[in-house]
Amino acid sequence: MSVTVNITKGDTVLIFIMEQSANRTFTIADPAGNSYTRLGAIMFGSPYLQVYSTAAGGAKASSGTMTMTNSGAAERSAALVVDAYNVGSITQYDLTASGTSVTPALTNGTLDNNNLFVTEMLWYYASGNTTVSANQGTLQSSFGGTAATYGGALVTNTSATPASVTDSVTISQSTGWNALGVELRSVQLNVPTVDLPPVLIQS
C-alpha cells in the first residue's frame, strides 16, 4: 500500500493498519526516513488491527509517498494515517477491546489533564449497508458500508482532568468488532489535536 503524505516536523504520526485475517508486521517508509514502531495489535476472530507510530513529537518533515509493505501474500487491507500535534508523549498504548454489538467501544482511564484518547475500530458487515454515527467522543473518520466488506471508524475523546474516557460509535447492525487505542499526553495545557482529515487507503 502507498499514500501521499505531508507530515509536519514535530508532529506524531499514528498509522492504523487493518487486514482481513493475517497477523503480519509491516515495514513503513516515508521520504524523510521517519522510524515507525508497532505499538499494539488485536485480532478477535477476523479482522486484524494494528497500530504503528513515530516517536512522540519527533516526526521529521516529510512530503511525498509513504509505503507500507510486508512479506506475506496479498489480501484485503486498509490503513489510516493520523497526523497529530501538541503531543508530549504516548502514555498508554495497546489498549484493546472486542465484542459483538451495535456499539463498538473502548474505555480508558486517562493519566493526565487534557490527554487525547485515540481509538480505531474495525468490523465486518455481514449483509446490507451499515451506517455509522458518533456515540461517545468525536467521530473523526469512518469508512465502509456495503455488504461483505469491512468498515471502521476513528474516534477521539479527552478530559480536562484524569478520568474514565470512552470512544464509541453506533452502527446499524450488530456485528463482531475490534478496537485498538492509544493515549497521547498533551504539551502543557494544549490538548493534542488530529489534523483532518485522516488519510485512508485501501487495497
What local confidence, expressed as pLDDT, does residue 135 receive?
A: 96
Residues 91/122, Cβ–Cβ less than 8 Å: no
Q: Which residues pair with 102 in a beta bridge?
A: none
Q: How many angstroms separate the Cα of 199 from the Cα of each of 12, 17, 155, 185, 202? A: 14, 12, 14, 22, 10
Q: What is the tally of structural domains in the chain?
A: 1
Q: How far is CA 129 from CA 94, 105, 126, 150, 174, in A?
A: 30, 20, 9, 11, 12
Residue 106: the pLDDT is: 96
Looking at residue 4, its pLDDT comes to 86
What are the tens digits of pLDDT across the range 111-122? 988 899 999 998
* Residues of the chain where predicted confidence (pLDDT) is lower than 50: none
pLDDT of residue 25: 83
What whole-number distance in Å separates Cα of residue 92 and Cα of residue 102? Answer: 26
DSSP count for the chain of H helices, then E strands: 0, 17
Nearest to 47 by CA among 23, 67, 27, 68: 23
* Residue from 9, 48, 10, 4 nearest 30 by CA: 4
> Which pLDDT does position 61 carry in this prediction?
93
End-to-end CA distance of the chain: 7
Give per-residue pLDDT as tens, 34-73. Answer: 999 999 888 766 668 889 999 988 999 999 999 988 877 6
Query: What is the model's pLDDT at position 158?
Result: 92
Please tell me the predicted confidence (pLDDT) of residue 187.
Answer: 72
Predicted local distance difference test score (pLDDT) of residue 145? 62
CA distance 49 to 57: 24
Residue 82: give the domain boundaries: 2-202
